[in-house]
Every structure is written in structure tokens, then in C-alpha cells.
């Protein structure tokens, strides 16, 4: 192999390696990964937002998936194969960036330090509105929540709110 051919082969290999890394890097933020298993959306999204897995660290997802029979007061049990499939996907896409390094109390996204900081200006009565019900109902204020889009410049005013909700800026 001559030098030019070898250099071309190395360039192609490096480009392919970088392309393979791109999805993993894109998943490290709050956005929903591109390869969401239908089972995750169907099973988890049936009761609440199918949260972007990057919002919790791997250990939290592991505990949540092994405790589905007592999932925050509900029995969310799945058959073993489905539990393994969803659990493996959550582990592969779990958060690793600075906002989710520490496991939150009770493995709740709404108890993470960054969630509490970002929502510190939300009036407590806002969480109790019939259209919101709880801090875990991200879609009540974040129209792109199912895609992992939580842009505070695109907030929705929940039904029943008297004034536009004040919200700390996301960083």
C-alpha cells in the first residue's frame, strides 16, 4: 500500500470512528436519543412522560428498573425480557454530565439539584393546577419535553395559570 492510499484509508477510518461517536455525544445532553425503543415510549409513556434517560445517572435507572413493582406507589411491573430491553437502553443513555453525577433522593428527577435550581422561582401553587398536577409533568410547561427540549424561552403557560410562570433560566 503506498503512502497516499494508506493516508486515505486512515482518513476514512478516522471519519467513521468520529461518526460512530457523534450519537453518543449528542445523547449526553438533555435531549431524547434518536433510537428510543417503542416499548419505552409505550410502557413508561403510558403513565408519565417517557423521560430522556440522560436526566438520571445509570445507578438511578438501575434501581428504578429493578423496583418496578413499587414504582412510586404503583405496580409498573414488566415481563423480564421487556424490563431487560428497556433497562439496558436506559443504562446505555443514562446521564453522565455534571448535572446528573449525583443520584437524587428517591431517584426522582424532580429532586435533582439542577431541577430544583431551575424551578426555584416557580410558585408552589403552579404545581397544584389541574393542568399540571406535579413537578413531574414537564409537558405542562415545556412543549418539547417528549423530545428532551426544555428551553425556558419557549415555555407554555399552563391552563388555569393567572400569569405567565416565572422560571429560572436553563444553563
pLDDT in tens, the chain (171 residues): 665 544 444 443 443 343 344 444 433 466 899 889 999 999 998 889 999 999 999 999 999 999 999 999 899 999 999 999 999 999 999 998 877 778 899 999 999 988 999 999 998 899 999 999 999 999 999 999 988 898 888 888 888 776 544 444 444
Question: 76: closest CA among 42, 102, 120?
Answer: 42
Q: What is the pLDDT of residue 23?
A: 42
Question: In this structure, are residues 136 and 110 in contact, taking their beta carbons and an 8 Å threshold?
Answer: yes
What is the model's pTM?
A: 0.73
The C-alpha cell that represents 148 in the structure block: 428532551
User: Interior CA angle at 161 toward 160 and 167, to 5°?
Assistant: 145
The C-alpha cell that represents 127 in the structure block: 404545581
Amino acid at each position: 500500500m503506498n503512502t497516499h492510499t494508506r493516508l486515505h484509508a486512515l482518513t476514512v477510518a478516522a471519519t467513521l470512528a468520529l461518526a460512530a461517536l457523534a450519537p453518543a455525544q449528542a445523547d449526553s445532553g438533555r435531549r431524547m436519543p434518536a433510537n428510543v425503543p417503542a416499548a419505552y415510549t409505550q410502557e413508561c409513556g403510558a403513565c408519565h412522560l417517557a423521560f430522556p434517560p440522560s436526566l438520571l445517572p445509570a445507578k438511578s435507572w438501575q434501581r428504578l428498573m429493578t423496583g418496578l413493582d413499587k414504582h412510586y406507589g404503583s405496580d409498573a411491573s414488566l415481563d423480564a425480557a421487556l424490563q431487560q430491553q428497556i433497562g439496558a437502553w436506559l443504562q446505555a443513555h443514562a446521564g453522565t454530565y455534571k448535572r446528573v453525577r449525583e443520584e437524587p433522593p428517591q431517584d426522582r428527577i424532580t429532586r435533582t439539584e439542577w431541577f430544583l435550581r431551575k424551578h426555584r422561582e416557580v410558585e408552589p401553587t403552579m404545581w397544584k393546577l389541574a393542568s399540571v398536577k406535579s413537578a413531574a409533568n414537564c409537558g405542562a410547561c415545556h412543549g418539547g419535553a417528549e423530545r428532551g427540549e426544555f428551553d425556558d424561552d419557549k415555555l407554555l403557560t399552563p391552563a388555569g395559570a393567572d400569569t405567565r410562570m416565572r422560571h429560572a433560566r436553563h444553563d
